Amino acid sequence: MTSILKVEGLTKHFPGSKHSLFGKRDLIQAVDGLSFDVAAGEAIGLVGESGCGKSTTGRLITRLLEPTAGKIEFNGIDITHLSNAQMRPIREDLQIIFQDPYASLNPRHTVGTIVASPFRIGGITPEGGVKKRVQELLEIVGLNPEHYNRYPHEFSGGQRQRIGIARALALRPKLIVADEPVSALDVSIQAQVINLLKDLQTQFDIAFIFIAHDLAVVRHFAQRVAVMYLGDIVEIADRDTLYSKPKHPYTKALLSAVPEVDPDAIGSRERIRLTGDVPNPINPPSGCRFRTRCWKAQDICATSRPQLLQIGSSQVACHFPE
């Protein structure tokens, strides 16, 4: 299989605050040495808790942020340090959907204008004209094509997220980064949007990076899942392996923390309770970053940072994998 995206050693350090006049500025190590591939047409999930760097990763890949180090290769082209102008033709193939359907749509533009914006920016006239194409897109995402002239505030949260999806879909991209696309939506609406994204992914053969904190949501969308902790991937595996045989203690703990809907199944599940919160990315723990909350941690975990190694069908960064 050919890969559409190759990420190697991707790093983003944000400048933090300074403590004295000539002192060094703190560095927030949001993403630190991330490597993974996405195959053409593949749906990969990126999960982790707040501060793990999953959203930053999405913004780096779509080049909304400038990477500090590492390499991003999209469709065979090194896009790590391309300028905005150089990125423009590439954006036709590389789109992003945001979490907040209220903040990510310009309230003064009609839905037609919003969905047509990729054509305008790219200077592209689709076959049959922009309007016809936009109406087709609205229909694809399950909106009434007659609502072309309405404004975002006339739509509900779920419908707005559909508008964002139509916009991302306009140029038939090869890869869509979806950053928490359903977490702002009501439970009954979440399923609609997950189903829609899944249909689009298979129908148009688009590769997806699905960023979410909810493991159950990712399970219903992704074929492969990467678990992030404090700026790094700790485990990456195909979906069934990851959910049934997690190898990294953090993945195990994360799965065990998901509340169980069936009251009778609660007792039968293994209960792992992590203590404390995720440490501060300004001063991440030495060695394995998860060691401060890990029940298996030994001396080596503090001194050496585990590399992502192939174990069975998973890749795991742990000195003591399951």
Partner 1 sequence: MSAFLEVKDLCVSFPTEDGVVRAVDNLSFTLEKGKTLGIVGESGSGKSVTSLAILGLHKGSSAHVTGEILIDGQDINAMAENEVQSLRGNLMSMIFQDALAALHPYYTVGNQIEEAYLVHNKVSKAVAKKRAIEMLDRVGIPDPHKRVDDYPHQFSGGMRQRAMIAMALSCNPSLLIADEPTTALDVTVQAQIIDLLRDLQKEFNTAIILITHDLGVVSETADDILLMYAGKEIEFGTVREILQKPHHPYAWGLLSSIPRLTGNPDKALAAIPGTPPSLISVPSGCAFHPRCSYVSRVGQACSASIPELAPTSAGAHHLVRCHLDSTIRENIFNSEVAPNL
Partner 2 sequence: MFSYLLRRLVSGTVVLGIVSAIVFGIFFILPADPARLSCGKTCSEELIVKIRHTLELDQTLPVQYGRFIKGIFVGRTYLKGTPAELNCTAPCLGYSFQTDQPVTALLKDRLPATASIAFGASILWLLIGLSSGIVSALRRGTWIDKFSQGVALGAASLQIYFVGLVLQFIFVNKLAWLPAPGYSSPLHYPVDWVKQMALPWITLAFLLSAIYSRLTRAGMIEIMGEDYVRTARAKGLSNRTINMKHVLRGAITPIVTVFGLDLGGLLGGAVITEYVFNIPGLGKLSTDAVANLDLPVITGTVIFSAVFIIVANILVDLLYAVLDPKVRIQ
Is residue 279 a contact partner of residue 266, using CB atoms and an 8 Å limit? Answer: no
Nearer to partner 2, 17 or 244 (CB): 17
Q: Where are the alpha helices (DSSP H) in the chain?
A: 54-61, 84-91, 111-122, 130-140, 157-169, 187-204, 215-219, 239-244, 249-257, 299-303
Instruction: Out of 219, 248, 291, 319, name the contact with partner 1 by CB under 8 A.
Output: 219
Instruction: Out of 1, 15, 20, 127, name the contact with partner 2 by CB under 8 A.
Output: 20
The nearest distance, CB 29 to partner 1, in angstroms, is 17
Q: Is 17 in the site for partner 2 (CB under 8 A)?
A: yes
Nearer to partner 2, 22 or 264 (CB): 22
DSSP state at residue 90: H
Residue 254 CA to residue 179 CA, distance in Å, equals 19
The nearest distance, CB 279 to partner 1, in angstroms, is 9
Among residue numbers 243 through 272, which ones bind partner 1 (CB under 8 A)?
Answer: 243, 253-266
Which of partner 2, partner 1, none has residue 18 at its interface (CB below 5 to 8 Å by kind)? partner 2
Residue 118 CA to residue 259 CA, distance in Å, equals 40
Nearer to partner 1, 122 or 142 (CB): 142
Nearer to partner 1, 78 or 199 (CB): 199
**Helices 157-169 & 130-140, crossing angle to 10 degrees?**
130
How many whole angstroms from its chain centre is CA 31? 13
How many binding residues for partner 2 (CB under 8 A)? 5
Given the rule CB under 8 A, which residues bind partner 2? Answer: 17-21
